[in-house]
Amino acid sequence: MKRVQKGHVTLKCWDLGGQPRFRTMWERYCRGVNAIVFIVDSADRAALPVAKEELQLLLEKPTLDGIPLLVLGNKSDLLDHMSVDELIAALDLKTISHREVSCYGISALEETNLDHVLNWLIARASH
Ligand SMILES: Nc1nc2c(ncn2[C@@H]2O[C@H](COP(=O)(O)OP(=O)(O)OP(=O)(O)O)[C@@H](O)[C@H]2O)c(=O)[nH]1
């Protein structure tokens, strides 16, 4: 767990492992949160079918109904990264209903677009 502070808001963030053995834990950690952030490698097209599958399995849990979802396509610094529109299509984000969904491209390495991510999260934080 990591605390991220901006102004008067402190975000408590849990970084969950992406490997198969951790995936059954996702739902437990996502219960009761203000937002779920699902991060994919936007330069790894081959991994997206599995990412789509795992995201759908997570979102169909009744305990997570209505929780806002932010999908981040990381590694936008790499030449062959997918655009946000490509990510939306590959992850079938348009078919997600009963919750708010946003998708941004970011680079954790170059710290690109992270201000948008923070603002999105702060707007959904509890006061
Ligand atoms: N080019 C580039 N590489 C990145 C970026 N973000 C992370 N990486 C690299 O990607 C690899 C994986 O990064 P991690 O932070 O371990 O990824 P993770 O998703 O937390 O991994 P798990 O939690 O184990 O699934 C590392 O080699 C990072 O240096 C980025 O924005 N651009």
The CATH number of the domain holding residue 62 is 3.40.50.300
Give the pLDDT mean for 46-58.
Answer: 98
The H or E element that residue 96 is part of is none
| Mean pLDDT of all residues belonging to the chain | 97
Q: Which residues partner with 105 through β-bridges? A: 73
**What is the total count of domains within the chain?**
1
The closest of 16, 116, 75, 14 to 87, measured between CA atoms, is 75
92 is annotated as contributing to ligand binding: no
**Token output for 56:** 């759908």
Question: For residue 93, what pLDDT is reported?
Answer: 98
Give the pLDDT mean for 70-75.
Answer: 98
CB proximity list for 47: less than 8 A, separation 6 or greater:
40, 41
Question: For residue 18, what pLDDT is reported?
Answer: 96
Mutate to test the pocket of ligand 1, among 16, 109, 111, 114 (most ligand atoms within 8 A of CB): 109
Give the residue numbers spanning the domain of 31. Answer: 2-125
Whole-prediction pTM: 0.96
* Residue linked to tokens 């079938």: 92
Question: For residue 126, what pLDDT is reported?
Answer: 86
